[in-house]
Amino acid sequence: MRQRDDMTFPFEEYERRLRELRERMAARLLDAVVITDPENLMYLTDYQTTGYSFFQALVVPLDDEPFMITRHLEESNIHARTWVEKTRPYPDTGDAIQMLVEALREFGLSDKTVGYERNSYFFPAYHQDAIHTTFRDGRLIDCFGIVEEGRVCKSPAELEIMRRAAKATEAGMRAGFEACEAGVTENEIGAAISSAMFRAGGEPPAVMPYVVSGPRSMIGHATWEGRTVQPGEHVFMEVGGCYRRYHTAMMRTVICGELTGAMAQAQERMKFALDEVHEQVQPGLTVSDVDNLVRNIITDNMVGASLITRSGYSIGIAFPPSWDEGYIISLKQGDSRVLKEGMTFHILPWMWGVEGDKTVGISDTIHVTADGCESFFGLDRDFVVKPASGKSAGGRKAAEAAPVSAVKANGEDKGATHAESD
C-alpha cells in the first residue's frame, strides 16, 4: 500500500477497511477475492471512474499486496486516486478476463480458493463464463456481500462526508421550491435544482433529480420531460445530493394553488411517520420493525393513498444507475436483520394515489446513533404552498410561501395528525 494524504479519508480508514475485509475472508476460508462492484472499489481504495462499464477488478489476497486489473485508459485513475501500487492494465484490443487470470497466476493464486462477486452488475455472465473456463486449477466461490458487510455501518468519517452531501441536497431542494410555480416547465425546475446542488459543492449524483408535476407524479421514476406546471397542480421532487460518491436524499412537495383537505391529511400522515421514526428507531430494532412502523402509519389514511414500495433503504456510496444501497438493506417486511449504530437510511413514507391521481412525498435520510437516530437535514417538512397565478402574475417566492402545518379546511384544523383526530 502506498501511503498518501490526499484521499477522501485518512489513510488509516482504508487500512481498517482492508484489515476487516481480510478478517471476513479468513473466516470464509478464502485465499483471495476479486472485487468488481464500483461502490466496493471506491470503498476499499478511493478509486472511481465513469468508465466502469469496462471490466475492472481489485484482487485482494489474504496475505499479499492487492493489485488492480483495469482498461489501460483507467490506469491513470489508480495512480492519481488510490493507495494501490500494483496494476495490470489491458488494452482495448485485449481480453480483460485473460489478463485477470494471468495476473492470478503471476501472483501465485492460480490454484487457490478465490471469491468473486457473482451478483455484481459489472461482472456480467459472459465474463463469469470466461473465468470459469480459464481458471481451472483453483476454486471459484461466490463471495457477494463480503465488502458490503463493512459498508453497511458508516464510520464517523463517512458520516461527515454524508453531511457534506446533505448540504448539496438541501441547496438543491430549496432551489426547487424557488423555481416551482405555475407556468414554468419541469425542465426549468430540474435545472435550478441541479445548478444549486453543484454550486453548494455537490458532485454529479448517481441519479439526477426527479421532478414531476400534476398527473405525471403517478408515473414511477419519471422525471422532467418539458411539461409546463399548471395552476392548481402540485410538483413532486426527489433530490439526491452527492459528495465523493456518498449520497443523501429527500422528497418534498410543492402545491401551486390551494391545499385541499386530502393533501393536508397526506402531509400530516407523512410527517407523523417521520416523527415516529425519530422517536422509535434505535439499535436493536429489526429491519421489519421499521418497515411495519412506517407502513402501518401510511396505510392508516383516509385519502385513498398507499405505500406501494419498500419504506426505505440503506444509502451511501453510489454510482449510476441508482443512488441507493437497497441491495445491502431495504426496509421491507420479513427481514429480521438488526439495526446497528452507523447504519444510514433514506426513509420513504411517501403516498401514492392521494385523491386517486397524485403522488406526494416527504422523506428523510437518517443515521442510527448509539441510542436513537438523527437526520442529516434541517429543512422544513411541510408542503410549500404557492399562488396558483404562477409565473405570469409574479407569484411569491418559496421563501415567502406560507407553511401549511396549521392549514384549516372546511372549518377543521387539518394540521392535526390523523392519529390525533381519531
Per-run averaged pLDDT (10 residues), the chain, 422 residues: 96 98 98 98 97 96 97 96 97 96 97 96 93 96 97 98 98 98 97 98 98 96 96 97 98 96 97 98 98 97 95 98 96 96 98 95 98 98 92 45 40 36 35
How far apart CA 327 and CA 335 sit, in angstroms, is: 13
For residue 372, the model assigns a pLDDT of 98
How far apart CA 254 and CA 211 sit, in angstroms, is: 11
DSSP type of residue 56: -
- Long-range contacts of the stretch 209-216 (C-beta < 8 A, 24+): 209/172, 209/176, 209/237, 209/238, 209/239, 209/240, 210/236, 210/237, 210/238, 210/239, 211/176, 211/186, 211/235, 211/236, 211/237, 212/186, 212/236, 212/359, 213/186, 215/357, 216/186
- Tell which residue, 235, 255, 232, 220, has the closest CA to residue 188: 235
- Tell which residue, 92, 117, 101, has the closest CA to residue 33: 117
For residue 401, the model assigns a pLDDT of 45
For residue 347, the model assigns a pLDDT of 98
Residue appearing with cell numbers 465513469: 50
Residue appearing with cell numbers 499479499: 64
312 close to 347: Cβ distance less than 8 angstroms: yes
For residue 419, the model assigns a pLDDT of 36
Q: Residue 311: enclosing H or E segment and its boundaries? A: none
Take residue 309 and report the three cell numbers written for it.
414500495
Q: For the whole prediction, is pTM greater than 0.95?
A: no
How far apart CA 122 and CA 366 sit, in angstroms, is: 29
For residue 275, the model assigns a pLDDT of 98
251 close to 237: Cβ distance less than 8 angstroms: yes
DSSP type of residue 383: P
**3-state DSSP helix/strand/coil percent for the chain, to nearest 5?**
35, 20, 45
For residue 354, the model assigns a pLDDT of 96
For residue 389, the model assigns a pLDDT of 85
How far apart CA 31 and CA 115 sit, in angstroms, is: 8
Count of H helices and E strands in the chain? 11, 19
How far apart CA 320 and CA 381 sit, in angstroms, is: 27
How far apart CA 269 and CA 418 sit, in angstroms, is: 7
Take residue 327 and report the three cell numbers written for it.
441491495
